[in-house]
Structure 1
Amino acid sequence: MTNSNSISFPAYPFSHSGDSTPAWTQGTGIFDYVKENIDAEGFFTKEILPDKPAATGELDFQPMLGSFDPYLMSDLSADSTQQREIRAENFSRQIHTVLQAFLEDPTPVHAADFYMKAATLPCILYYDTVIETLSQEPIPACLKDLTQEWLYKAVNREAVKLAIVITGLCLLNEDNLTLCWQLKKDLLLLARCEEFTCFVVYALKLSHQLENSDLWDLMTHTRGWGRLGAIEACEFNLIKERKWLLHNAFLQTIDYPAMALMVFNKLNIMDLLDHEHLQEDTFQDLTTLILHYLIYLTEEPEGPKANIDLWELLEAYLHHAEEHHTDLVTASGLTNLREYLKQWTENQYWDYLTSNQLHLLIGKIETLLLSTDWLPQIKAHLLDKDGNANLDTIHMGFALGLDLHKELWAILKKDPLQTELYGFLLDPKHKRMAGMAAKFASAHADLYLEQEEPCLPLLDTLQYFPGTCGDLVEKALVSIYDSCRSLALQVLEAWPESTWPKDAQLALQKARTMTTSPLQKLQIDVLLKKRTMEYQDFLDVIRESKNK
């Protein structure tokens, strides 16, 4: 890498449309798109970007911003860790080949070749090897100029990601303080879009310019994968910062099982529990944290663990519960905690607590709960202040053995759109009520599918009741709403094939012609026994759809 001549940008021989402009300027620039769609509160307001993700080709398929990179880095995207690593090595070789060609001869042709690879290969799978290579000597001016051009003008997200991380390396040795300030400011602007947050955090850490205030700015202006990345990088030193994390860690738009583990690693929870008194809201936030951690331990038994003794944690927590257990919201959390501990006992899950410890903890919780007559309070709070089903309170009532079927059935008949109630009314232990609820649901199938939202809670519930409301599931498969179709597919995945509705195969075939989502096409092919959920089959579905 000896050629450090700065590249100029004359007429470009390569472009998508055959004209003389660079390929990376043909379309809506990512940077300007992000900048123009940040609202007055500082949030990026769009759910998609103007380009298409690299792995989806020309299909109209947009995963949640920031979600596809974690997927590609997980073993879910490959048959094995080894296969994922082999794929990453292959992408790394491809990008290094065009990068080296550009550095040796920084012509427009080589710049175009470099861009086309950067635009089509997932940056997450190779960027670290590029940084390792480039960090061995000063960044050539030609590469610095090119990647800054991409940062502001590129129309493909993967090229912008590569430009972000290389810019971070450039900032490490940049003497122009004004340029440094402007680049950092613009990187942080890009980071408001959660597709780029983690790359910006990495780039600023690489350049030693990342400050805790930058992370706080990102955490308070993102809600999903971007916030997660900022939390992971942040240090929570002040009491108000720790309180913020405890309260906001689970108020996100994504489901990340290890979030509780991250909070335990960031905060000294035992130190908090050593306080003589805890405020009600702090205790409720602790309840949420502990519940999520128990879920994580149950669902990720091979995952890393918090450096904490679970018995000591729960003992200290229940000591504080003696002060707060008469509050309905707090009691609802205690009920959920009891249910998880009972599951561990029933499943003989002794990895973290002995049988004796579990029974002692369950007994303490039940003593607290049974010291109050909850029936009047629960019946009075079956609906929240907005008239919607108060699910936490209802769940608490059922967990305490209270019979609320009559009250819930009356609510549903009065307002059929309270579809969250089916999760309680379809319980096969109450056959008569379950039968009535199933008939009621089928009779209102068309109403539920007129709009997107009403049918979703019902479909989610039906996963656990094989064969129930099969006619509604068939209709959902051919719904105009992708979300309804997606949940209907999950229902069939959860049900034994013997319980499928009689016309399920025909509905699946029709659903395949209706959907534009490669993932849904793959799910349907799996249900029809034509494919597996392997990453290669996913790519095959994309290519197949693209060629039609």
Structure 2
Amino acid sequence: MGFKADFKREMRNVVKDVEKEINKTWKIDYKGHSIEIINQIKEEQLIVDGITVDRKKRRSLLSHIIPYSKLSGILKLQDGTKHKVSVKLGGYVRFRCIVKVDHEMVLDESIKLDFLPWNHKEKIIPFIQQQIRTNHKIVDDRLPDEYYLYDENELRLAPGLSDYYVDERPTLFYVKRLLKVFEKQLNHPTNETRKKTYEKIISDNMASRSSELIERFQQTQWDESLVQQEALWLLEHAAHREVVKFAVLILGCTNCEKYKELLFTLGMHEEFTSYVVFALKNGTIQGNEQVWRLSKSVDGWGKISAVKQLEASTPEIKRWLLTKGCENTIMNEYLAYTCALNGDLETALSEDEISKELYDGASLIIQALLEDEVTIHRIEEYPNASSVLCRFIHHAHKHCQAIEDFYPMMKISEFLNDDQEIWEDRLNDSWTQEDYKDIQEAVQPFINDSRWSQLAIDTLKQGFSSQALKIALFYRLDVIDLLFALLEKDPANSEIYFAVMDTNHHQHIRELCTFAETHLSLSNLSDDEVSCLQYIVQDLYEHEGVGLPLIQAALRSDDGNLQYHALSVLKEWSPSYSQQAATRELIEMLFLKTKDKEDRKLAKQLLKK
């Protein structure tokens, strides 16, 4: 996001904080009559006996440079006498409300405006604790501070992912200055010192500063009890996630054994798992056992960070790494190498017989290591990979019964059939010709077995299966009729749309577009239908004129990616399509309402054609 957008969001947040601080209401009972004064950021009201008798509106924040606002009205008592109610509101450091009836002072109240950054906001720790108490897990991974981090309709990052996209450029003296203000907080814990620490924390991110923070903190000689007291205070009051991260890191630099359950609870939210892992390992007894326990309680970026820090110190942990450690909701490729290496996959597969659970776990790891679209850690990097593959194929004679059991056999065969140039590099590196030959001879009987191609077809007749589809395509089977039959049963299954578009067959794509035009709710797309349309539209560049109603639906949608691809496709097509009345009208509307510079640029180019 650019500087302008960041600045705009920061200003919005400032206005929101000021608004919450100065929104005040005073109620006075005067001789049986109600006088109510309401102060808000853009207006003040005087209400007498339920009727608004005066109101002052402010057009902008700049109007607040006028320090005081005055309101007045008439109060009629039961004896018929009328009295003037005068109100004076305002102030910078202290906000004062003075109310007089005629010349009689009936209220003079002064409130200090602290603008404490944790005030008037939902606190993060109670939010997490309530979910764990109620559900024993995190069911809503949104955090209360998201309003301050994301603009409306901006894509939200999965918990824990933001730490992988931090700015690695050093902020000079940030950590040194942060610890300096924290030291003042330790020695004089007041709202003023705590506010300075809090504001310093949220001015940057902890992910890129954590190593330096830990290193510098460990060089201090501060009173541990005071450190824990203030770290806990920050946790209790934290309404911003970076404050939680700082407090957990600081707590983890102390002996925090008695706080391990609190830490564990926080670690179940994957935004904080990696920080809690540090605290558990560094500051508690048997911290590795707690990290293992936490690894089993998370399944996204938190699991990835926890498993990478987990020491395979017992046979039980090693077995868990091989059977359950790799699988996660982000991508199994992130943990496959770690689990294979730390779980000692080679030794586990060297047994004469293994359990089906271990076979399934090894299957998942091997598939991830063989994945050719991800380059985190490939099978070539794993020591003795050829031995592992041979032993796995050996155990497949017993355990390979279902379509999902055969899938890794297919992946191994595809690996062996890589381009000759790739294999030349492998043979010059860590593999031998004998390795290649041994695996080829071991896997080929499975590949030659005709039951797997038939099982793939039978599986697809029952319902869509990505593995069955890949196996069918591996055997070069024509499955297009099956895919369209599956679409009839499940017309909003985006995976099927992707599979048909991936054929890049013009006639199949034309038929798919016709199907989508009649089966998707183009005027009111659901989330699933948006995904379906995305797969179609993004691949229509080379199919001029095909799916124009889908292009128009994409332009009408509120999805930024769809709109961009629709405009991009029209740019590649001949101008006659974008100049059609209905299409041109949609482009004009998008040009006027979009906030995306690239979309506006594309729309402008199309309108000029």
Q: Please report the TM-score for the alignment, with normalisation by the length of structure 2.
A: 0.68
**Structure 1 residues 45 and 364 mapped into 2: Cα distance closer, same or farther (>3 Å)?**
same
Determine if the alignment matches structure 1 residue 209 to structure 2 residue 285: yes
Determine if the alignment matches structure 1 residue 510 to structure 2 residue 590: yes
Report the counterpart of residue 199 of structure 1 in structure 2.
Answer: 275
- What whole-Å deviation, never above 9, does each CA across 1:221-248 have from its counterpart, x for those lacking one? 2121222222222234555543433333
What is the distance in 2 between the residues matched to 1:260 and 1:214?
Answer: 22
- What whole-Å deviation, never above 9, does each CA across 1:410-440 have from its counterpart, x for those lacking one? 3323542344223333355654333322332
Report the counterpart of residue 292 of structure 1 in structure 2.
Answer: 368
Post-superposition shift, 1:461? 6.5
How many matched pairs?
484
Report the counterpart of residue 215 of structure 2 in structure 1.
Answer: 132
* Runs of at least 5 residues in structure 1 that lack an aligned partner in the other structure: 1-14, 78-83, 173-179, 516-520, 530-548
Aligned pairs for 1:44-443 within 5 A: 44-52=138-146, 56=150, 62-72=156-166, 84-87=168-171, 89=172, 91-96=174-179, 98-99=181-182, 102=185, 107-140=190-223, 143-171=227-255, 180-181=257-258, 183-255=259-331, 257-295=333-371, 299-300=374-375, 306-345=381-420, 350-351=425-426, 353=431, 361=439, 364-383=442-461, 388-428=463-503, 430-443=505-518
- What whole-Å deviation, never above 9, does each CA across 1:12-47 have from its counterpart, x for those lacking one? xxx852635843243111111111122555211212
Q: Does structure 2 conserve the Cα–Cα contact (< 8 Å) formed by 1:325 and 1:331?
A: yes
What is the distance in 2 between the residues matched to 1:370 and 1:492?
Answer: 47
Post-superposition shift, 1:209? 3.2
Moved more, 102-111 or 388-397: 102-111
Post-superposition shift, 1:205? 2.0
Post-superposition shift, 1:49? 0.6
Q: Does structure 1 conserve the Cα–Cα contact (< 8 Å) formed by 2:500 and 2:509?
A: yes
Post-superposition shift, 1:94? 5.0
* Runs of at least 5 residues in structure 2 that lack an aligned partner in the other structure: 1-16, 23-112, 605-609
**Structure 1 residues 189 and 160 mapped into 2: Cα distance closer, same or farther (>3 Å)?**
same
- What whole-Å deviation, never above 9, does each CA across 1:113-158 have from its counterpart, x for those lacking one? 2211212321112233233223223324655433221111221111
Report the counterpart of residue 177 of structure 1 in structure 2.
Answer: none
What is the distance in 2 between the residues matched to 1:268 and 1:146?
Answer: 43
Give the partner amino acid of 2:146.
Answer: K
Report the counterpart of residue 8 of structure 2 in structure 1.
Answer: none
What is the distance in 2 between the residues matched to 1:162 and 1:312?
Answer: 45
Give the partner amino acid of 1:68.
Answer: S
Q: Does structure 1 conserve the Cα–Cα contact (< 8 Å) formed by 2:322 and 2:345?
A: no
Q: Does structure 2 conserve the Cα–Cα contact (< 8 Å) formed by 1:24 and 1:150?
A: no
**Whose helix proportion is higher, 1 or 2?**
1
What is the distance in 1 between the residues matched to 2:184 and 2:454?
Answer: 76
What is the distance in 1 between the residues matched to 2:174 and 2:551?
Answer: 41
Post-superposition shift, 1:368? 1.5
What is the distance in 1 between the residues matched to 2:601 and 2:312?
Answer: 45
Report the counterpart of residue 452 of structure 1 in structure 2.
Answer: 527
Higher RCO by CA contacts (8 Å cutoff, separation 6 or greater): 1
What is the distance in 2 between the residues matched to 1:210 and 1:499?
Answer: 64
- What whole-Å deviation, never above 9, does each CA across 1:73-99 have from its counterpart, x for those lacking one? xxxx5xxxxxx2334x46435534544
What is the distance in 2 between the residues matched to 1:132 and 1:365?
Answer: 51
Moved more, 220-229 or 56-65: 56-65
The structure with more radius of gyration: 2
What is the distance in 1 between the residues matched to 2:375 and 2:292?
Answer: 29
Q: Does structure 2 conserve the Cα–Cα contact (< 8 Å) formed by 1:198 and 1:229?
A: yes
What is the distance in 2 between the residues matched to 1:98 and 1:260?
Answer: 43
**Structure 1 residues 223 and 169 mapped into 2: Cα distance closer, same or farther (>3 Å)?**
same
Post-superposition shift, 1:263? 0.9
Report the counterpart of residue 498 of structure 1 in structure 2.
Answer: 572
> What value does the CA root-mean-square deviation take over the aligned residues?
4.1
Give the partner amino acid of 1:459.
Answer: Q
Q: Please report the TM-score for the alignment, with normalisation by the length of structure 1.
A: 0.74
**Structure 1 residues 241 and 204 mapped into 2: Cα distance closer, same or farther (>3 Å)?**
closer
What is the distance in 1 between the residues matched to 2:483 and 2:350?
Answer: 41
Give the partner amino acid of 2:450.
Answer: T
Q: Does structure 2 conserve the Cα–Cα contact (< 8 Å) formed by 1:54 and 1:121?
A: no
Moved more, 144-153 or 504-513: 504-513
What is the distance in 2 between the residues matched to 1:414 and 1:446?
Answer: 16
Instruction: Specify the SS of the correspondent of 2:307.
Output: helix
**Structure 1 residues 194 and 466 mapped into 2: Cα distance closer, same or farther (>3 Å)?**
same
Report the counterpart of residue 23 of structure 1 in structure 2.
Answer: 117
